[in-house]
Amino acid sequence: MPRAYCTFETELGFCGIAWSDTAGAVMPALFRLPEPSRVDMEERFSARCSQGHAVPPPVIRSVIEMAKRHLGGEPQEFLDIAVDLSEEQPFARRVYAFTRRVPAGETTTYGELARAAGNPEAARAVGLLMGRNPMPLIIPCHRVLAAGGKPGGFSAHGGLSTKSRILELEGVRLSLPREGAQLELWPVAQHSAD
């Protein structure tokens, strides 16, 4: 369980990050994408963190700075950041590991991640894992689409609008459909669709 957390402001709103400290290894354990209110963000973290709000240690400050730059339009890669997924099951850890390998400017699908994680029939399970991703942005679930380039879901504040906005910052234009309209996707580069 994460011990401490802090909130911080980005160009898109207030984010939060919580970290664990196991045997001196400080790692992000939870991350929340921007919301309009710092108070709401504080409430989301306070009940889950045993030590409450704290000054972030250097490794977490580095992640915060990367997140600020990313959400300010300077895409960052978080792949080298060690993360605490100790509470996740093995399949989830594999899916999240493959998700982390999808670079900014590219997308993948739930089905492709299911195949990569060793269970090609588990696309729906992958979708559920993306919906409860403990560290969006660090584990870039916004880069995961449904089959055929459809946007899929997005559980962060703002839903698909937030997903579209973050993808746009990375060079992927996701045009959300109006009722009954076809979705258009213009990625910089895209893995093959399901």
Residues labelled as active-site residues: 141
Q: Are 139 and 96 in contact (CB under 8 A)?
A: yes
| Coil/strand/helix, residue 70 | helix
How many Å apart are CA 159 and CA 113, to the nearest integer? Answer: 21
- The identity of residue 92, as a single letter, is A
Q: Are 106 and 49 in contact (CB under 8 A)?
A: no
How many Å apart are CA 107 and CA 104, to the nearest integer? Answer: 8
User: Which is it for the CA torsion 154, 155, 161, 166, positive or negative?
Assistant: negative
How many Å apart are CA 30 and CA 40, to the nearest integer? Answer: 15
How many Å apart are CA 56 and CA 62, to the nearest integer? Answer: 9
The residues, any chain, with a CB within 8 Å of residue 168's CB and separated by 6 or more, are: 174
As to burial, measured by CB atoms within 10 angstroms (0-12 exposed, 13-18 middle, 19+ buried), residue 119 is middle
Residue 57: both structure tokens together = 């240690």
